[in-house]
Amino acid sequence: MKIVFSLMPVLLFLTGLFLMDSFKLVSKKNLVLAILWGGLAAWFSYLSNEWLSSHFTLSFENFTRYFAPIVEEVLKALFVFFLIARRKIGFSIDAAIYGFASGTGFALIENMVYIYFIGDEPSMMLWMLRGFGTALMHGGCTAIVALLIMGGIQREKKLFFSVPSGLFVAIIVHSAFNHFFLNPYLQTLLIFVLLPVFFGFIFKQSTSSLQNWLEMEFSNEVEILRMIRQGKFSGTRSGAYIAGLRAHFDSEMIVDLYNYLSLYLELSIKAKRNLMLKENGFTPIAENDTIEKLTELKALRKQVGKTGELALQPLIRIKHRELWKLSQLENS
């Protein structure tokens, strides 16, 4: 029973989060990798903590309160940083799930080590506290890091500046947990009750944001692309804006900007279409020329440069979410 109580709660919670992802934003491959990384992070943390404890004359109690949370939260979050930097995460939903998955892997290894060393502990309450309290805390803290980083990126902050605030909050929460300001049983109960409420709120807000983003941009992009293909784009306000750029760029650059805009809209519409299909339980459509067009778009983006992108900002804004959206086509 000690295995059930110490390992199953966090696994069941992660499974529940994965099933709540109605847009299927989370890749199973990356989810498994996040869990595996969390397990490795637990071993790295153990080695790091052993080294630190031998070099600093702190009591075990103070070490677990002030040093261990820093080491553990940084290591758990590294895989989340990697996914965000590679634009494999686009919204709060997938950020929270990947973060919790990394924390899950960490908690599983940590609790298995506890079982190995003190497995003869007869009290089931200890294993319940570790499974429903400590394990969920590990998952929740890494999810908080991921959520705060994505929040910063969505407010157009650089990843480098978003990371410290996310880590700081997670470290404070982790340290507070290890201080046991509350009775351990009450603390565990609060985590078990409040964590689902917290994630439920995050999922509701993020799903609403994603739906609004899809609905508002999709119809607008379809309309612009339709006008381009019908040869009526020059008669629109967007077309007039592009025409006005002739005063600042040569004709070759204008052609590149026009092609870039047209190809971006086409791929953006396809990416949003696939998201809508996944939300409704259908298989995304994979087209043979998608990779070729993505390669062409990257070449055009390089050709127009930062100046060209800035010139097109009133029409399209190529930020983290837009790049994430296009990366989804590569995985279709």
Contacts 24+ apart (CB under 8 A), 173-178: 173/137, 173/140, 173/141, 173/144, 174/69, 174/72, 174/73, 174/137, 174/141, 175/65, 175/66, 175/69, 177/133, 177/134, 177/137, 178/64, 178/65, 178/68, 178/69
| Residue 172 and residue 286 in one domain | no
pLDDT at residue 332, rounded to an integer: 64
Tally of domains within the chain: 2
Domain assignment present for 154: yes
Looking at the fold, whether 268 and 195 belong to one and the same domain comes out as no
Residues 6 or more apart whose Cβ sits within 8 Å of residue 55: none
What pLDDT, on a 0 to 100 scale, did the predictor assign at position 120? 74
Same-domain check for residues 191 and 237: no
φ, ψ of residue 122 in degrees (nearest 5): -75, -25
Are 88 and 146 found together in one domain?
Answer: yes
Dump the DSSP string for 10-55. Answer: HHHHHHHHHHH-TT--S-HHHHHHHHHHHHHHHHHHHHHHHHHHHH
Per-residue pLDDT of the chain (332 residues; tens, 9 = 90+): 788 999 999 999 999 999 999 888 999 999 999 999 999 999 999 999 999 988 888 888 999 999 999 999 999 999 999 999 999 999 999 999 999 999 999 999 999 999 988 877 667 898 999 999 999 999 999 999 999 999 999 888 888 889 999 999 999 999 999 999 999 999 999 999 999 999 999 999 988 888 888 877 888 899 899 999 998 888 888 889 998 998 889 999 999 999 999 999 999 999 999 998 988 888 898 888 999 999 999 999 999 999 999 999 888 878 888 889 888 888 76
| CA–CA separation, 181 and 4 (whole Å) | 27
Is 150 part of a structural domain of the chain?
yes
CB 206 within 8 A of CB 154: no
User: Quick check: is 223 in a domain?
Assistant: no
Whether 266 is covered by a domain: the verdict is yes
- pLDDT for the residue numbered 286: 86
Q: What pLDDT score does 57 carry?
A: 82
Last residue of a domain, one of 164, 186, 202: 202
- Whether residue 198 is found in the same domain as residue 243: no
Which of 162, 185, 202 is the last residue before a domain boundary?
202
Cα 89 to Cα 68: distance, rounded to the nearest angstrom: 27
What H or E segment, with its residue span, contains residue 239? helix 237-244
Looking at residue 106, its pLDDT comes to: 99
51-67 in b/e form (b: 16+ CB < 10 A) is eebeeeeeeeeebbbeb
Q: Does one domain contain both 173 and 251?
A: no
Q: How far apart are CA 20 and CA 175, in angstroms?
A: 29
Residues 18 and 72 grouped into a single domain: yes
pLDDT at 211: 85
Residue 190 placed within a domain: yes
State residue 234's pLDDT score: 85
Which element (helix H / strand E) includes 174?
A: helix 159-179
In a domain, 324, yes or no: yes
Residues 274 and 316 in one domain: yes
Domain with 308, as residue range(s), is 231-330
Q: Let me know if residue 94 belongs to a domain.
A: yes
Are 160 and 17 in a shared domain?
Answer: yes
Q: Are residues 111 and 236 in the same domain?
A: no
In a domain, 58, yes or no: yes
The pLDDT tens digits of the residues spanning 163-186 come to 999 999 999 999 999 999 999 999
* Predicted pLDDT at 30: 97
The answer on 165 and 25 residing in a single domain is yes
Structure tokens at 29: 């491959």
Residues in Cβ contact with 74 at an 8 Å cutoff, skipping those fewer than 6 apart: 167
Q: 103 and 143, same structural domain?
A: yes
